[in-house]
Structures are given as structure tokens and as C-alpha cells.
Amino acid sequence: MVNTKVELCGITMDNPVVPASGTFGFGYEFAELYDINCLGTFSFKGTTKEPRFGNPTPRIAECEMGMINAVGLQNPGVDAVISTELPKLKACFNKPVMANVSGFSVEDYAYTCERLDSCEQIGWFEVNVSCPNVHGGGMSFGTSPEAAAEVTKAVKGVTTKPVIIKLSPNVTDIVSIAKACEEAGADGISMINTLLGMRIDLKTKKPVIANKMGGFSGPAIKPVALRMVYQVFEAVEIPIVGMGGISSAEDVIEMMLAGATAVEVGAANLVDPFACRDIINDLPRVMEKYGINSLKDIIGGAH
């Protein structure tokens, strides 16, 4: 009997499969399709201090081997998440959930995390300093070690739960940013967020997305994600949540060999809402195929 359990920042998960923020709503939407308690956990929709309508439409574009999105952190705001979304989730999910938080200032991040910290359902914070679709915040904090460290310190100062910093791949040296977050007290690193991409409509000769550019995700980015997780694993001691182009049990194992303790699945959920369930169901077969008895034993195994 194979063992799919892993431990992320002191919390045991039944398996390492985690639907990524922005692709799984607040969970209860998917609970209408299958029992989401099969998941290791999931990262809920990116939450900000105030409600956000998001970017103008169109804000989704398909492309070869992936998609581009510029949703722009549409969410009801932290107060509504606490009063409405988390109670709905509690009715269908009995495990700790990952709270994805974004902001437009250091104070925003700290405020939102402090408000959510007392919610018993939340096991981890995934602090997004890497969203490429928001002007004046998000990715701007994730493109320098100093800014990422400042956000990390501020959030750690007001929370009691593990803090995982989500990093952008749209940088020259992701390792230095990961190390700065670790030194500032981060309990883990989450990577990678989307690459920056665009599409142009040949008929209108204009960008397809109203925001012009957006986050490129899907199978095409997996080699970049693997490379970056591999590099950061060699530089930090804290666990990594790896993501980018994951769509199969084989992909999960490959990402764990690169250094990930848990693995997020993003764009695949938008193609097939049963993607995470099916990956989890297939993990034992793939583990047996490659002679893996326990997933926690293969973390960083490619090094």
C-alpha cells in the first residue's frame, strides 16, 4: 500500500494535490461535482482588503498549450469572505484550507491576513506577491527581494498560521527573492505564478485581452516551473509548493522530484473540473509504476 501523505509547514495532508487559487473559487462550487475532501487542501480565490470587480472584459484568451488570463483579482473582499464564503465552505470541506491573499500596499497584506488569522478553517496563508494582472500592486512586490521581504515581515508580524509567499517567474533571479523571503520569516515558498503573455486578434489587429497582457498558464510553462523549483530547492530550507502546467499524476511526481512538498493544479481545473480528483485517484498507480512507496521520500529526489 503506497503512502501519499505529506507534511506542509507542520500540517499533514492526505496527498500533495492542491487546486490553485483562482481556479477553484471558494471550493463549494466544485463540491457540487464531487467530494472535495479527497484533496490535500486547496488555495481559495485571491482575497483583498476591499471588494474588487477585476479587470475589464475580455480577460481570458486561449492559446497553444495554455491560456492567458487577466481577471484582476475579482473577489468580494475579506469581510465577505469571512462572513459568507467560509461558512459555505465549512458545510462541504472538513480540512484546513489555504487562504490566498493579495494587496496593493504592505498595510493591505497585513490587514487582510490579520483579519483571516482567527478563522479556524484556515491552515496556511499563501501570500501572493506575484499577480501579473494588477496595476500598482501584486507583482510589483514580488520583483525585488527587499519588497518581498517587507511584505513577509509585515504578514508574519500579525499572523499565527504558516505563511507561504507566492513568487513571480517574471524576474531575473527568483532564487534571491526566495532567500529574502526565507530570511524575513516565511514558512514556505509557492511557485510559480503565471508568466506574462499576450494574444493579438488578426481581424481587429488589437490585443485580445482588454488589459493587453495577462498571466500565461498551462502545460507549456511546466519546464520553466520545474527549473525554478529545482533552483530554489537548492537555496532554501523551507518547503516549496510547486505549480505550473500540472495536469497529471506524473506531473505531480516530477514536480516533487524537483523539490516541491505539495503541488498546485491551476489551468487544468478550468479545462476539466474533475482534474484534481482524477490526479489523486491515479497517484497510487503511478507511484507503483515507478517504485515509489511514500511520496514524502521523493521530495527533492532529483538533486
Distance CA 303, CA 50 (A): 43
- Number of Cβ within a 10 Å radius of residue 285: 10
**What type of residue sits at position 217?**
S
Mind spelling out the 3-state secondary structure of the chain? CCECCEEECCEEECCCEEECCCCCCCCHHHHCCCCHHHCCCCECCCECCCCECCCCCCCEEEECCEEEECCCCCECCHHHHHHHHHHHHHCCCCCCEEEEECCCCHHHHHHHHHHHHCCCCEEEEEEECCCCCCCCCHHHHHCCHHHHHHHHHHHHCCCCCCEEEECCCCCCCHHHHHHHHHHCCCCEEEECCCEEECCEECCCCEECCCCCCEEEECHHHHHHHHHHHHHHHCCCCCCEEEECCCCCHHHHHHHHHHCCCEEEECHHHHHCCCHHHHHHHHHHHHHHHCCCCEHHHHCCCCC
Question: Active-site residue among 113, 131, 181, 276?
Answer: 131
131 annotated active-site: yes
* Residues with active-site annotation: 131
